């Protein structure tokens, strides 16, 4: 089986397909990261600047990092799957999972970055 996989990956006839799948994957990751950043950066800036919700952000970020990816994907597919058709049935659950899993590190990083700035400079 491993030899078949290596053979398929090294076969020049499959290079275009591999490149196409790589580009699709990069598009999904970029879109999910963009959506997560749009949601998490403003929240992280607000929490870092005001200090409100600091305890919740730290704890929820830590908790969310421990969510198993496949378990979350399975749950989202069961929840959204029956109402979706076509390519959207495959794309949307994956994007939702990627966004959910990308938010905690972006939120925590943004909060920590703003929180570490000198308060006098932060409020200027």
Distance of alpha carbon 114 from alpha carbon 84, whole angstroms:
40
How many domains does the structure of the chain reveal?
A: 1
DSSP state, residue 13: G
Cα–chain-centroid distance for residue 93? 12
Q: Are 90 and 28 in contact (CB under 8 A)?
A: no
- Residue 118 has which token pair? 């000198």
Say if residues 80 and 46 touch (Cβ distance below 8 Å): no
Q: What is the pLDDT of residues 18-49, one digit of tens each?
A: 889 899 999 999 999 999 999 999 998 888 88
What is the pTM for the complete model shown? 0.78
pLDDT at res. 90: 76
DSSP assignment, residue 82? Answer: G
Supply the range of the domain harboring residue 35. Answer: 2-122
């Amino acid at each position: 089986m491993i030899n078949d996989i290596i053979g398929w990956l090294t076969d020049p006839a499959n290079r275009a397909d591999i490149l196409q799948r790589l580009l699709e994957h990069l598009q999904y990751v970029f879109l999910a990261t963009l959506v997560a950043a749009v949601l998490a950066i403003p929240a992280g800036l607000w929490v870092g600047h005001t200090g409100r919700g600091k305890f919740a952000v730290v704890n929820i970020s830590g908790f969310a990092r421990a969510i198993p990816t496949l378990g979350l994907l399975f749950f989202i597919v069961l929840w959204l799957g029956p109402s979706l058709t076509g390519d959207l049935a495959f794309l949307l659950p994956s994007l939702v999972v990627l966004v959910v899993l990308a938010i905690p590190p972006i939120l925590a990083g943004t909060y920590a970055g703003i929180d570490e700035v000198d308060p006098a400079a932060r409020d200027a």
